[in-house]
Structure 1
């Protein structure tokens, strides 16, 4: 079967504003609409209550989503062992999926955060970027993308927060933020 994409690029959605995951998943919906196969791996998402888990399952088998993550918050200077192990499991799965070449688009949701929280080595992620098959479009999301990571991408979009309901005491809402 011919790949859907002749030349796959590397995309990054980063920044402190809302919309990184939403943009990546919007791309997934668009791609499935054109007959592409999309594989999503979520890092640092240990909760089972994210709406995208149920929503994107409706696009199966063209779109597949796996999520990994420990329970509770991750702290930068002292990440729990469960968080480290789950990030490593997610990364191993990402390596398998990307290198297989079976998927037109691979989205590594929150992988940039996993790097920033020292759950993954940035050099290991660079190795995946360098070794991806030519026809695979690779999308990375998360806050705090390094300049080195940005330099390796073909498209970088930074979400900038100008105003957020959280600033006014409105907490994350089911179906909107998760």
Structure 2
């Protein structure tokens, strides 16, 4: 690719991470290298096993093993800032064709770092890198920067019928 574009997958509906995993699979199957960074996530998700099956796919988590439910703690901030530094390197190194920053919009929303820091690493990326930014509450500046924005809208969800998260579907 000569020029990489910036995608944003946001909204309150299910499927943002799933969509970013799908485009990552497509990229790897086309012989491309993908870096997949998960912000505010440290839980044992099934996608962590992808590295066993997919050459050229690297995944890193930059969060604790719990969701941020109210106010982030200092550990959340430290992990996110470390993740932003690692992601900046992945974006600028030229080693990857695609970089996914999963839940980065949540990290901005919870003020784990500033939107300006994210915009800066996007500006400093290797121009051929395709970038996917996911998470609810996408900041207006992120949306303005993006070339493609998709909003996942919840119409109906089985969580409301107390269906628990299932391995291989939700995690």
TM-score by length of 2: 0.96
Q: Is the 8 A contact 2:102 2:135 kept in 1?
A: yes
33, 55, 74: which is aligned to 2:68?
A: 74
Q: Could you say if the C-alpha distance between residues 57 and 122 of structure 1 is closer, same or farther in structure 2, counting changes exceeding 3 Å?
A: farther
Aligned residue in 2 for 1:55: 50
1:42–1:66 CA contact under 8 A, matched in 2: yes
Relative distance call for 1:40 and 1:26 in structure 2 (3 A) is same
Q: What's the CA shift for 1:33?
A: 1.0
Q: Report the Cα distance in structure 2 between the residues aligned to 1:56 and 1:23, rounded to whole angstroms.
A: 18
Residue 127 of structure 1, aligned match among 101, 117, 120: 120
- Structure 2: gaps of 5 or more residues: none
Tell me the residue number matched to 2:6.
Answer: 10
Distance in 2 between residues matched to 1:56 and 1:36, nearest whole Å:
14
- 1:95 matched residue in structure 2: 88
1:55 Cα deviation after fit: 2.8
Query: Deviation of residue 56 (structure 1)?
Result: 4.2
How many Å apart are 1:92 and its aligned residue? 0.9
CA distance in 1, matches of 2:97, 2:67: 32
Give yes or no for contact 2:91–2:122 (8 Å, CA) kept in 1.
Answer: no
- Answer whether contact 2:40 2:67 (CA < 8 A) is retained: no
TM-score of the aligned structures, taking structure 1 as reference length: 0.92
Q: How far apart are the structure 1 equivalents of 2:95 and 2:126?
A: 10
SS in 1 for 2:78: helix
**In the comparison of the two structures, how many residue pairs are matched?**
171
Contact 2:39 2:80 in 1 (8 A): yes
Structure 1 residues not aligned, in runs of 5+: none
**Residue 21 (structure 1) aligns with:** 17
